[in-house]
Amino acid sequence: MRILTRLLLVFITLGNSLESDACDVCGGSGNIQGLGLLPQFSSHLAGIQYLYSSSASDHPSLFADKPNEVSAQSVTTLQLWGKYKLSKRFQLFAFLPYVYNNNTDGTQSLRSKGFGDASVIANISIPLAENNSNKRLLLAGAGLKLPTGKYVPAKDASQYVLPNMQAGSGSWDIIGNVNYTVKAAKWGYNIDATYLLTTVNEYQYKFGNRCNISGTAFYSIGQKNLKMLPQCGIRLEYSLHDYDNYEKKWLNEQTGGTMSFISAGAQFFYKKLGLKSIVHIPAYQNYAGGYVHTNTRFETGIFILF
Amino acid sequence: MKYNSIFAATIISVIFSSCQKKDHEGFDSSQLHVIVSKPTEAQVFSKGDTVQITGSIDYISQLHGYSISITDKKTNEVFYDLDEHLHDASFSINTYWVDTLSENAELVLKIVAEADHEGHESSKEVNFTSKP
C-alpha cells in the first residue's frame, strides 16, 4: 500500500506540471512500453502481441471561416517481445514493434507503416521483508528506446505524417520502470509505473516525456498445467507537450494530456503456452485540450515460457 | 527509509523533467512579415494565363500555417483557396492559378499568415484584373 501511495504521488506531481491548451495537429496518442502483470517470473519468455487503438479529432480550424478540422486515427501494432533471465534477480526485456498508422481527414488518408522503435529494459528484483501470508515481488529497472523506426521530418511535405502517427520517433529515449506484484492465495494485485524520458531527434523534434501507471487486480483459477487469471484495473497515461523545434523552444501546446482507462481481461496458461487479452475502456481523458477523443483499446497476444 | 529516499529523489527528478520552457510569450505583430512578389498590384491577366503566386512569410517565432485565396471583389466568389497547416518560422510561397474566367473581374489575392490558434495573424492583399 505504501508503494501504491508513492506511485500515485509521483503521478499527481506530474499532473500539476502540465498546462493543457487547445488542439493543433491532433494525432493519435503515443504509447510507451509498460510491463504490467508479468507471467511466470521464473521463466524465459517469447511472444507476439497485437495492439489496436483509435481516436477521433474535432477541433476548430486554424483558418477563419473554415469548418472544424475533423479526422480519425488508428494505430495497429504487431510486436515481438521477450524476457530473458540473466540470473536469479536480473532479467532483460526486449520489444520490437511493427506499426501501421492511419490518419483520415475526410479528403485524404495518410498512412505510415514499418518497424517502430525497439525497446530494451533491464530489471532487478529488490529484496522485500519476508511475509508469510503474501508473496511479493518488486522489480525496478531502466532501459532504452532505440530510434529504429522511421521518422519523416516536416520539411518533406510530400511524405509528411503527423509526428505522433509516425512509425518511429527518431530519438534515443530513456525508460524507467517499477513493477510490484502481491499475491495472497488466489488473489493478487500488480502496480506498474513506467516513465519515458525523451530526447530530441536530429530534426529538433522532441516528444513530450510520458508516464504510464497501471493497477491491476487478478484472481488465479485452475491447477498447475491449466490456469486462468481474470484481471481488471485502471490505467493512467500522462504526456507532456512536444517541441516542434527543441533548439528554438517551440513548444507545441496542442499536444500532450491525460487519459485514464478501466482495463479488463484475462491471461490463460496451458503448460508452457500463454494467451493474454485485455480491453482498455476510456474513463477520463483530457488530451490535446479535449479535442482528441480516444476510443476503446484492445490488446491480445500469445507467448511461450521456456 | 531507503525506499522513501528513492521515491523523494524520483519526485524531485520528475518535477525538473516536467518543466517546459518555450521561446516567448505573446504575439508581436510587428515581427510578422508577409511579402507578395507576384502578382503585382493592378496587373492584368487574360483567360488562359497562368498567374504565378510567389512571396514569403517570416516571423521571430513559430508560425502555424498560412492561407492563399483569390476572390472576386464584387461577387466574393472564391476562385482559388489553399490552406497549409505547417509549423515553421518562415514559409516560401510558390504556386499558381490558371485564369479561366470568361468575364471581366476585379480580383484580390490574399495571403494570411497564422501565428497561433488564438486568431493572431497578418495578411497581405494584392489587387489585379482578369480581362478575357
Could you tell me which residues come within 8 angstroms of residue A95 by beta carbon, excluding any fewer than 6 positions away? A33, A79, A80, A81, A118, A119, A120
Which pLDDT value is given to residue A66?
86
* Of B7, B15, B64, Cβ closest to residue A24: B64
pLDDT at A30 over 60: no
Q: Chain B contacts of A60, Cβ < 8 Å?
A: 117
Which pLDDT value is given to residue A16?
30
Q: Chain B contacts of A244, Cβ < 8 Å?
A: 62, 87
Using pLDDT thresholds of 50, 70 and 90, give the confidence band for residue A19: very low
Using pLDDT thresholds of 50, 70 and 90, give the confidence band for residue A154: low
Q: Chain B contacts of A70, Cβ < 8 Å?
A: none
Q: CA–CA separation, A245 vs A252, rounded Å? A: 9
Which residue of chain A has the CA closest to B16?
Answer: A17
Distance from CA of B99 to the nearest CA of A (A): 24
Question: Contact B62/A22, CB-based, under 8 Å?
Answer: no
* Inter-chain CB pairs, A–B, below 8 Å: 77
Which pLDDT value is given to residue A254?
83
Question: Contact A13/B14, CB-based, under 8 Å?
Answer: yes
Distance from CA of B132 to the nearest CA of A (A): 31
Task: Assign 3-state DSSP to chain A and report helix, strand, coil percentages, each to 5.
Answer: 10, 55, 35
* Of B62, B65, B114, Cβ closest to residue A250: B62
Asked whether this complex has an ipTM greater than 0.85, the answer is no
Q: Calculate mean pLDDT across residues A132-138.
A: 81
Q: Which helix (H) or strand (E) holds A206?
A: none
Question: Contact B114/A240, CB-based, under 8 Å?
Answer: no
Which residue of chain B has the CA closest to A10?
Answer: B11
Mutate which of B2, B10, B86 to disrupt the A interface (most A C-beta within 10 Å)? Answer: B10
Among residues A106, A244, A97, A238, the alpha carbon closest in space to that of A162 is found at A244
Which pLDDT value is given to residue A15?
32
DSSP assigned state of A66: -
Residue B15: half-sphere exposure toward Cβ, Cα within 13 Å? 8
Lowest mean per-residue pLDDT among A50-54, A124-128, A178-182: A124-128
b/e B34-73 (16+ beta carbons within 10 angstroms → b): bebebbeeeeebeeebebebebbbbbebbbbbbbbbbbbe
pLDDT at B60 over 70: yes
Question: Contact A244/B87, CB-based, under 8 Å?
Answer: yes
What pLDDT digit, counting tens, does each position of A80-118 carry?
Answer: 999 999 998 999 999 999 999 998 887 788 888 899 999
Q: Chain B contacts of A14, Cβ < 8 Å?
A: 14, 18
Distance from CA of A137 to the nearest CA of B (A): 15
Q: Calculate mean pLDDT across residues A262-272.
A: 94
* Of B15, B85, B86, Cβ closest to residue A17: B15
Question: Contact A9/B11, CB-based, under 8 Å?
Answer: yes
- The helix/strand/coil state of A261 is strand
Which pLDDT value is given to residue A207?
94
* Of A6, A209, A243, Cβ closest to residue B17: A209
Q: Calculate mean pLDDT across residues A189-195.
A: 94
Q: CA–CA separation, B48 vs B99, rounded Å? A: 5
Q: Calculate mean pLDDT across residues A179-191.
A: 91
Mutate which of B20, B71, B85 to disrupt the A interface (most A C-beta within 10 Å)? Answer: B20
Average pLDDT of chain A, as a whole number: 84
Using pLDDT thresholds of 50, 70 and 90, give the confidence band for residue A165: confident
Which pLDDT value is given to residue A39?
66
Question: Contact A251/B65, CB-based, under 8 Å?
Answer: no
**pLDDT cut 90: percent of chain A above it:** 58
What pLDDT digit, counting tens, does each position of A216-226 carry?
Answer: 999 999 988 89
Using pLDDT thresholds of 50, 70 and 90, give the confidence band for residue B79: very high
